[in-house]
Amino acid sequence: MSEVRELIRAEADGSISFGDYRLDKKAKADDFENCGDLYKVKTYREITKLERNGMFVYESVPGTSVEHLAVDDSVMEFSVNGEKDAQITVQLEEDQEYEVFVDDFAVGSMRTNMSGKLSFSVELGGTAPVRVRIRRR
């Protein structure tokens, strides 16, 4: 898997890859179109944030690079890489229970809050991206 070097790109499978945790200064890309949706990404060493059609999708502190983010009615999947462990927040369906898997290991069942946000931590800093899968129960 090649790390993201652009701020955002479309993948052949319809997913998107975005973010660059190596940047010292904030960078952003607006109005990136993929599969009929418009994306906006802001990224640098301290934070990476993604919006779709003006709505929150993903945020990490500190910044990360995300590959192959794909979302459907019941699953969100992506691979993430960064220099340090990261706190990740994603937007899902409000007040629902989800099972979170990191590198195919179940880290637990979590419920989204009233706004549909789900937060969890991942251990990063290695050479390989960490695979994340979030499945509605």
Q: What is the pLDDT of residues 4-41, one digit of tens each?
A: 668 999 999 999 999 999 999 999 999 999 999 999 99
Provide the domain count of the chain.
1
103 belongs to a structural domain: yes
2 belongs to a structural domain: no
Residues 105 and 5: their CA atoms lie apart, in Å, by 28
Name the residue range of residue 124's domain: 8-136
Indicate whether 49 pLDDT > 90. Answer: yes
The contacts of residue 16 (CB under 8 Å, 6+ apart) are: 8, 9, 10, 32, 34, 39, 68, 69
Q: What pLDDT does residue 26 have?
A: 96
Q: What is the pLDDT of residues 85-125, one digit of tens each?
A: 999 999 999 999 999 999 999 999 999 999 999 999 999 98
State pTM to two decimals. Answer: 0.94
Residues 116 and 75: their CA atoms lie apart, in Å, by 14
43 belongs to a structural domain: yes
What tokens appear for 22 in the block? Answer: 């190596």
Q: Yes or no: say if 19 and 43 are a contact pair by the CB < 8 Å rule.
A: yes
Q: What pLDDT does residue 79 have?
A: 98
89 belongs to a structural domain: yes
Q: Confidence class of residue 2 from pLDDT cuts 50, 70 and 90?
A: low
Q: What pLDDT does residue 77 have?
A: 98
3 belongs to a structural domain: no
Reported in sequence order, the residue ranges of 1-137 that DSSP labels E, i.e. its strands, are 8-10, 16-18, 27-34, 37-44, 47-52, 55-61, 65-71, 75-81, 86-91, 97-102, 105-111, 117-122, 130-136
Angle (CA) 58-63-66 rounded to 5° is: 55
Q: What is the pLDDT of residues 123-137, one digit of tens each?
A: 998 778 999 999 999
| Residue 63, helix vs strand vs coil | coil
102 belongs to a structural domain: yes
1 belongs to a structural domain: no
Mean pLDDT (the chain, rounded): 94
Supply the CATH number for residue 96's domain. Answer: 2.60.220
72 belongs to a structural domain: yes
Q: Confidence class of residue 1 from pLDDT cuts 50, 70 and 90?
A: very low
